[in-house]
Amino acid sequence: MAVPRPTTSGSSGNRRSGAPSQASLGSYVPQENPVWPSYLQADTQLIPLGIHNLPFHPDFGARTVSHPNLVSFVKTVFDDAKRWNPQSWKQTGKYVENKVGLEPVHISQYMTKKHDRWFARYNEFYGAHDQHWEELDHVLRDNHSDHEAEYTPDVFDHQCLVKWNQGLDEAERASKMKNISMEITQMYHKMEGLVTNRVFTVLLISGYRTDLAIDPKKADNMSRQFIVVQLPVALQNFPEEVKQRSFTSTAMQYQPHQPKMVHGQAEQLTLAQQTQVGKSLVQGYYASVEQIGYHSAPAGQTVPPKKSPYISWCMSTASDAGGQIPKFFYKFAVPGKIAQDVKFVCDYIKANRGTTGWPVIRGSG
């Protein structure tokens, strides 16, 4: 996720706590009703989830409040994401990435009209783009935050706070998904000039669809798709045990744990992280939906070679950077920023292809 930057500096956007401000999130208060009818709505204001709105996790402590059922929650999120169709929004332009592989990538841009605007981009990868399903799955779905922190230039750290490991088998059956992962994670972004760094806390849910079927009458079939959803989370009502895992201090400064543990292994701070220690943070809020599909023609269908198979990538996002960055700035900055992510990901894949732990490309696409 590339965070838009103001064209002028001097606005620090400091905030005394991690709670949303009235200016940034209207009349937000933690929701008493744990169950929402929908978690993805393009025509409503962006509101973060509180602890009451999330399925119970043992790290939350005793069940002193009601929580949504895990299976129902996950099913609702994926049902929303399967219906999510940014290409039905207003098209705002097109962006051409100079070259990926042997050909330019054409990126279409869309946005909604109301409240915290959602912006979207859509592109397709054909054979000449040299992008492969296994690699895109590895980067965009598998350990999503780890890879995002590597390919996004302004992300200097990230941290997983809570990960759900139980009850997902039943959720997979109910939502017709597989390989579901669900966790609360934080991403730390370095801002330019005098603008204060941002931290975004999200619930990250990803998985593969199992309900796709080939229609022999169609020349274009999506036979595979994985979905990655990020929803904003507000930590103020979470237990101290969870908050203490964060690299955000109570004074809203970047204070990583030392030694820093990454997937159970102690790691030294990078030079980029060392230069940010002790610097102030502003809590931002962010939501996104990514839909990556593999398309091919059924046997016997005649289509142009360029069009089959191909991979589609649709990414949509709504965000509030908090502080004093004006919202109208996003209208102009976000489309270009999210389009840049296509190049970031493709360059990252090219740089790592063939390295230890990188997936083996099995075939076309």
Q: Are strands 119-125 and 310-320 parallel, antiparallel or unpaired?
A: antiparallel
Q: What is the pLDDT of residue 321?
A: 80
Give the residue numbers spanning the domain of 162: 44-352
| 9: confidence class by pLDDT, cuts 50, 70, 90 | very low
Instruction: Say if 16 falls within a structural domain.
Output: no
Residue 364 placed within a domain: no
Residue 342 maps to a domain: yes
At 199 the pLDDT is 97
Buried b / exposed e across 144-176, counting CB within 10 Å, b at 16+? bbebbbebbebbbbbbbbbebeebbeebbebbb
- For residue 198, list its beta bridge partners: 189, 282
Residue 298: is its pLDDT beyond 80?
no
Per-residue pLDDT, averaged over 300-305, amounts to 58
Report the distance separating Cα 258 and Cα 267, nearest Å. 9
Arithmetic mean of pLDDT, 333-348:
88
- Whether 28 maps to a domain, the answer reads no
Residue 27 binned pLDDT confidence (cut-offs 50, 70, 90):
very low
Instruction: Report which of 8, 20, 10 is spatially closest to residue 321, judged by C-alpha positions.
Output: 20
Among 34-43, 237-246, 256-265, top mean pLDDT goes to 237-246
> Does position 26 have pLDDT exceeding 80, yes or no?
no
CATH of the domain at 62: 3.30.530.20
- Lowest model confidence (mean pLDDT) among 60-74, 99-113, 133-147, 203-217: 99-113
pLDDT for res 29 = 45
- The count of structural domains within the chain is 1
